[in-house]
Amino acid sequence: MRKTNLLILLLLSMVLAAQAQIQHIEWQGVQRDYLVKTPAEFNETMPVLYFLHGLGDNITHLDNEFHFQQVADEFGWMMVVPQALNEGNGTMWNAYLTYSTTDDSGFLMALLDSLSVQYPVNQDSVFFTGFSMGGFMTHRMAIEHGDRITACAPVSGLITSPMSHFTPVAPVKMLHIHGTNDPVVGYDGNSQYFGMDLGLSVDEILEYWKNANHCVDEPVIDTFPDLHNDGLRFIRYTYGGDAELQHIKVIGGNHSWYHSDTQYDISYLNEIHRFFVTGSGGNVGLTEPQTTNLCFWPNPTSGSCNVSVDADSNLEVIDLHGRVMFKRDVKKGVNQLDLRVLPEGLYIVKTSEGKTMKVMVK
């Protein structure tokens, strides 16, 4: 009997702990739900990363899929996962939809203000990402609140036609990721799944943000190394400007969030985080294999990695204080490296010929 009572108490505590993860805030007379995950260790303040779910999704399913506590601990960031309201066809964000009066834009910023009272939030490090309709909403947040948001990374989400008539309040760093074979939110702005036009095409979105961020016309183009038999090619376009604009074009990509860099050539969340913390593109792969003389992958790396050079060289890994943290002679071709001795952080890889690139060790 005693063992049974203990088991019941244990199960009850587990249920209560799970329920306690979901918090609430009242906005416009409606209870809004959200999930917050704080890192086990952080400095005086924490960067904040919002993750906006797709149409019909919910924060419990999203947390089970992405394990946001692990993400918070790995990045040292607060993860905020808000819940959209059910508008009759499932949960959906009002990414400027003519038939919705829900002020999701105001709710998300009110939530930020509320969290800033409860937690040591770094107001200069506020980031948004989202998938599908969450990507649509991420674009809206960048347009309306770019003066408070540091950078945004919508995935498989567009700018709605009504939203495209708004002028962004400020330039904002932007990374847009989209698959060319997406049948739900088409690369060309159309949806095979819904049979309708959803908004601007990806090319039009790039022009929109190039103008808003005062970017150059011609991008720097580099291709991620094709390391896995995933049927995909990941190409990055980087536009310099008042705020950097990047686009990762996923050749053959469908309406999916590609998780693992052990199955795919990149992991979306890792690449998004890398963009947020470094804000510089290029040098992750090969622009032209026959002319590139420094290639490093995977990037970010957990320690075991590869470097390719077109001539024998002396390789140095330098931290942001200019200290040489790792040194090795490398041969022409592909060399395997073990950087697990290095603390997590951003480094510069430099060859004796003066070629450099940024590398994130996680």
Query: Judging by beta carbons within 10 Å of its beta carbon (0-12, 13-18, 19+), is residue 178 exposed, middle or buried?
Result: buried
Residue 3 lies in a domain: no
pLDDT in tens, 44-84: 789 999 999 999 999 999 999 999 999 999 888 999 999 99
Residues 61 and 114 in one domain: yes
Q: Which of 282, 301, 319 is the last residue of a domain?
A: 282
Here the CATH number for the domain that contains residue 306 is 2.60.40.3080
pLDDT in tens, 73-124: 988 899 999 999 998 778 999 987 666 789 999 999 999 999 999 999 999 8
Residues 173 and 230 in one domain: yes
For residue 67, the SS3 value is coil
Distance of alpha carbon 158 from alpha carbon 160, whole angstroms: 6
**For residue 310, is it left (φ>0), alpha (ψ between -120 and 50) or beta?**
alpha
**Token pair in block for residue 215:** 């970017």
Residue 16 lies in a domain: no
Q: Cβ neighbours of residue 335 under 8 Å, at least 6 residues apart?
A: 306, 307, 308, 309, 315, 328
Short-list 307, 345, 155, 339, CA closest to 225:
307
Residues 208 and 292 in one domain: no
Q: Which of 252, 282, 312 is the last residue of a domain?
A: 282
**Order of strands across the sheet that contains 333-338:** 294-297, 304-309, 333-338
H helices of 124-283, where?
133-145, 202-213, 268-278
Residue 152 lies in a domain: yes
Residues 217 and 333 in one domain: no
Residues 200 and 80 in one domain: yes
Kindly tell me the sign of the dihedral angle through the C-alpha atoms of 143, 145, 148, 150. Answer: negative
Kindly tell me the sign of the dihedral angle through the C-alpha atoms of 109, 114, 118, 120. Answer: positive
H helices of the chain, where?
2-20, 59-66, 68-75, 104-118, 133-145, 202-213, 268-278
Q: Which of 260, 282, 304 is the last residue of a domain?
A: 282
Here the CATH number for the domain that contains residue 237 is 3.40.50.1820
- pTM here is 0.74
Task: Give how many domains the chain has, as a whole number.
Answer: 2
Peptide bond into 82 cis (omega under 30): no
pLDDT on residue 36 = 96
Residue 255 to residues 112, 261, 295: CA-CA distances in angstroms? 29, 18, 29
Residue 11 lies in a domain: no
Residue 99 lies in a domain: yes
Residue 7 lies in a domain: no
Q: Position of tokens 């309306």? A: 144
pLDDT on residue 293 = 64
Kindly tell me the sign of the dihedral angle through the C-alpha atoms of 182, 129, 70, 62. Answer: negative
Residues 242 and 345 in one domain: no
Residues 238 and 160 in one domain: yes
> Taking a C-beta distance cutoff of 8 angstroms, is the pair 232, 249 a contact?
no
Confidence of residue 8 (pLDDT cuts 50, 70, 90): very low
Confidence of residue 226 (pLDDT cuts 50, 70, 90): confident
Q: 120: domain range?
A: 23-282
Residues 97 and 140 in one domain: yes
Residues 232 and 358 in one domain: no
Residue 251 lies in a domain: yes
Query: In this structure, what are the phi and psi dihedrals at residue 83, rounded to the nearest 5 degrees?
Result: -105, 130
Residues 201 and 343 in one domain: no
* Range with the poorest average pLDDT among 206-220, 225-239, 298-312: 298-312
Residues 345 and 234 in one domain: no
pLDDT in tens, 231-242: 999 999 999 999
Residues 216 and 77 in one domain: yes
Confidence of residue 43 (pLDDT cuts 50, 70, 90): low
DSSP 164: G
Residue 15 lies in a domain: no
> Taking a C-beta distance cutoff of 8 angstroms, is the pair 140, 116 a contact?
no
pLDDT on residue 304 = 86
